[in-house]
Structure 1
Amino acid sequence: MKDSRPAAVNIQPVSQRRLTQIQFTVLILLTLGAYHQVSGHHFVWDTIPFVLQNPWLQEMNWSNLVSIFIEAHRANWQPMVWLSHSLDFQMFSLDSGKHHLVNLVLHTANGILVYLLIFSLTMQAKTLNLSERQWAAFVGALVFAIHPQHVESVAWVVERKDVLYSLFALLSLLTYLRLHKLASPSRSDRALPFVLFVFAITSKPMAVTLPVVLLLLDFYPLHRCNLNRWDLLRAIVEKWHYFIISLCVVLITLNTQTMSMPTMEQLPLWARSLNALDNSWFYIAHYLLPTQLSPLYPYPDATEIISPVFWIDGAIFLLMSTAICIGLWRKSIRWPALLLLFYLITLLPVSGIIHVGPAKATDHYTYLTTLPLNLITGIGIVFAIKRLKRIRAALAGLMAFYCLFLLLITYQQVSYWNNPLSLWSRVIQLHPTSALAHRNLAGAYYSIGEGARALEHAERSLQLGGPAEDYVKQMREAVEAK
């Protein structure tokens, strides 16, 4: 007798797909809600010399395209970024809001990619089922997307390099993971992660660490190698082309940034090393409690750096985290060590050991560096809710409150980047003895016709060891002439 019952329908995958769609929608809406103000923002800080005064950007022709790819502008060789800015000029001219919106679109896309990456990295987490992996990916990606540490990368047009290089780097990691799941990968499958890596490293030299991150993926979750020296050597050799490109970009970067090197040479190695030690904890502390975030963290003087109070937090963090990871590794729990290595390796180029500029640290350096913290946050909250059933509602509420807290802080932080006046007023509010901030605020006041206030901040900058007397003299003469 023929079975008249309807054919079985696999409902579970559909519901999981629906959950992913809802999560993506919420992720996009919350990201846009946190950052929508940038559509009315002005060009700030060094956007004028870096972007608006770049002679290759406002007209797209063969001569400018060649210059974009073979020359450096203001000690920066980043052809993919210059190309993206050039496309902006062709479409939006000098509409600053639309230039900022491109950053926001890229950041939103990166939030989706972080979701996919966390979901992929947890594929062998035996303690999590499929829907729990989805929720872990959502929480981690949401924290990434709305975290105040990333405001600089979105609300500052010059930091297009952050969101663009991260887009390509995340795609490279995802396609590398996909490559090693395929039974018979094609040549294009093998080439794609490398091509995306090239796009990333020509957007920002910080991507030089990506080949080492791929080695970490070979350990986990891919299990393609272990500490056997021949296994490790094979994994390194197969990435020879990645390392060659990284070496070339390092040499290009060191060569093009010679104009900025005097800043580094004025700081002894011990000072830069202690600053790097402090920064290793500084960024994590700001991830956990992102208050008092500043567009500029002035470099401390030598007496402050040498004091144990300055660097002891970083030393304790490194010693404790290393000890914990070694202990877990001996128990065959290796992922904590790999996450710590990811953080330290990606932080190394911008840790402060090689120091250029007036800041001890910069929030936008955390854009991809703190990905392990996003992963731990996502997995940690899902695992806790799963195990601690009696307080799961309280834990879920606490996580929701934390995300709301991040959203509100981000919204406020975005507003500081609206214009030069709001930006430098915020820096002075947090760091009233910053000579650079007073000088830049003087320029901001002068540009809107408030000469007296401009002169006040110019003179204050001079008192703090800022600009030469000629600058103040010119400012005073200009004010009096009006």
Structure 2
Amino acid sequence: MTELTTTSKKIFHNLSTDFLNPWKDQIQSLVLFIVPFIVLQQSLHNSFQVYWDDHWVLFNTYTSDGLTIANLKAIFSQFYNGQYSPLNQLYYTIIYSLFGYKPFYFHFSALLIHLVNVQLVYRLVKSLLGFVKHLTTAQISQQAFFVSLIFGIHPFLIEPVAWISASKILIYASFYIGACLCYLNYIRSKKISHLFGSALFFLLSFGAKEQAVAFSLTLFTFDYLAGRNFKDKRLWIEKIPFLLLSLVLGLVTIMSQADNGEGLISMQKKYPFYQTLIFASYCLFEYFVKCLIPIRLLYVYPFPNEIGKPLPNFFYFYPTVLLLLTAIGAKLIKDRFYIFCLLFFIVNILLTIHIIPISRFSIISDRYVYISSIGAFMIIVGLLFSINTIGKKFQMMLLIGYVVLLSAYSTQRIKVWYNSDSLKKELKQLIRNRPMDNQKKTNN
């Protein structure tokens, strides 16, 4: 009788597992929609940031002139305030044409695109983990789920969701991940149609945000993870269209900035090169650490010194630590997957860390890490899953606890973006706490 009961339990377990398996992806996708929505839904009540870029990025003639032929031509053929983001501007124009200047619809659209991106990240990570041979299908699914969940609720990624003027990040990311998925399909199938699809999504991604220019370098990180032979001529020939696109689109970006008297070829005063290298090391360090532990998040991070002035001494700490960590990592990190994650992170943040001068008030900005963060989150989840000594239950407890803490912080952080007055409060606190301002007070 006992044997019969045990057998029946095994049969029931197998039947239930077989029944639920086809629904596993759907259930995970549903959770990845519901949880980030619950955490971030407060953004739907936010207003416009009338004193923080919304007043010109959103409120302009390109938006208010609607979907006329003349306006569409202007959107796609003109630079605006040093930027070229026709798809993002078209997005504003469509929402305005349907609903007018009502903040709810702009915030709802932003949240919806972010939720779509969470689903895309889930598929991207599953595709990437498919190249990691020692992982089972179940492990791939679990890790992809947690990476995507963290991506969906992380407080460091709130800015493009809560701030209408940063919507270009969300739109660029959607097309960018689409381009990544097409290229990964190409690696597996060798179908040229996937390569064309990747190039098309790359172009559309740039139409929303110039940061997409880094895509051609991202392709090489995928080749590395997939174990492709870099001596193979085909690998380099297939990159030529992407590299040429990156070159052309990079020139468009430089021209758009120059049109506003800014950027690489402008006559603006610039920081000396040695300081930009220190800024770059600071940015890499801060972006990565804030992905792991989102501490001291702000909506603006001012440069530590004015152009022509010396850096605070503590800034020299960052290149020293970065070089030390690089040397240690080169000896200890042998796993291709973790090396890929680091490369993916660096490549996709490279254009925003001031090695190439960009006209920005902030030395770092939360929104710039939106795509790069995927690499950091894969490292976090991958390391937790690789620690076999703590047991699966404890692994799950750690991950769920991490997600809960991030979610709690996000629900508080998103309130800062309610309106311009709430941002001002944080700015006043920032000014009071800035070392350089305190130094001025002391000197005076």
Deviation per residue, 1:321-372 (Å, 9 max, x gap)? 354236545xxx4333332222222111101222312211111111011211
Once structures 1 and 2 are overlaid, which stretch shifts more, 286-295 or 157-166? 286-295
- Partners of 1:14 and 1:158 lie apart in 2 by 45
Corresponding residue for residue 202 of structure 2: 197
Residue 315 of structure 1: how far off its partner (Å) = 3.4
Corresponding residue for residue 359 of structure 1: 362
Corresponding residue for residue 242 of structure 2: 242
Corresponding residue for residue 478 of structure 1: none
Conserved 8 A contact 1:263-1:357: no
The answer to whether structure 1 residue 277 and structure 2 residue 278 are counterparts is no
Q: 1:264 to 1:404 in 2, by over 3 A?
A: farther
- Partners of 1:209 and 1:14 lie apart in 2 by 43
Q: Indicate the structure whose relative CO is greater, using CA pairs within 8 Å and at least 6 residues apart.
A: 2
Conserved 8 A contact 1:278-1:315: no
Residue 161 of structure 1: how far off its partner (Å) = 0.8
Letter in 2 for 1:130: T
1:104 to 104, 111, 117: 111
3-state SS of the aligned residue for 1:267?
A: coil
Residue 127 of structure 1: how far off its partner (Å) = 2.8
Residue 213 of structure 1: how far off its partner (Å) = 0.8
Aligned Cα RMSD in Å?
A: 2.5
Conserved 8 A contact 2:62-2:75: no
% identical equivalent positions: 23
- Partners of 1:87 and 1:193 lie apart in 2 by 26
Corresponding residue for residue 94 of structure 1: 101
TM-score of the two chains, using structure 1 as the length reference: 0.80
Corresponding residue for residue 265 of structure 1: 269
Corresponding residue for residue 413 of structure 1: 413
Corresponding residue for residue 384 of structure 2: 381
Corresponding residue for residue 306 of structure 1: 311
- Partners of 2:18 and 2:268 lie apart in 1 by 55
Q: 1:328 to 1:152 in 2, by over 3 A?
A: closer
Residue 305 of structure 1: how far off its partner (Å) = 6.2
Corresponding residue for residue 147 of structure 1: 154
Residue 12 of structure 1: how far off its partner (Å) = 5.5
3-state SS of the aligned residue for 2:299?
A: coil
2:350 to 344, 348, 351: 348
The answer to whether structure 1 residue 24 and structure 2 residue 29 are counterparts is yes
- Partners of 2:129 and 2:237 lie apart in 1 by 27
Q: 1:373 to 1:318 in 2, by over 3 A?
A: farther
Corresponding residue for residue 126 of structure 1: 133
2:298 to 285, 294, 297: 294
Residue 274 of structure 1: how far off its partner (Å) = 1.0
Deviation per residue, 1:119-176 (Å, 9 max, x gap)? 1111132332111111100111111111111111111111111000000010111111
Deviation per residue, 1:411-457 (Å, 9 max, x gap)? 111111110000121122233267xxx9xxxxxxxxxxxxxxxxxxx
Corresponding residue for residue 9 of structure 2: none
Deviation per residue, 1:197-246 (Å, 9 max, x gap)? 1111111111111111112212222x3323x3xx2x54232121211221
3-state SS of the aligned residue for 1:225?
A: coil
3-state SS of the aligned residue for 1:25?
A: helix
Corresponding residue for residue 220 of structure 1: 225
Residue 251 of structure 1: how far off its partner (Å) = 0.9
Q: 1:81 to 1:257 in 2, by over 3 A?
A: same
Conserved 8 A contact 2:186-2:195: yes
3-state SS of the aligned residue for 1:432?
A: helix
Residue 260 of structure 1: how far off its partner (Å) = 2.8
Conserved 8 A contact 1:274-1:305: no
Q: Which runs of 5+ in 2 are unaligned?
A: 1-13
3-state SS of the aligned residue for 1:181?
A: helix
Q: Which runs of 5+ in 1 are unaligned?
A: 1-8, 439-462, 465-482
1:159 to 152, 166, 174: 166
Report how many residues are paired.
Answer: 416
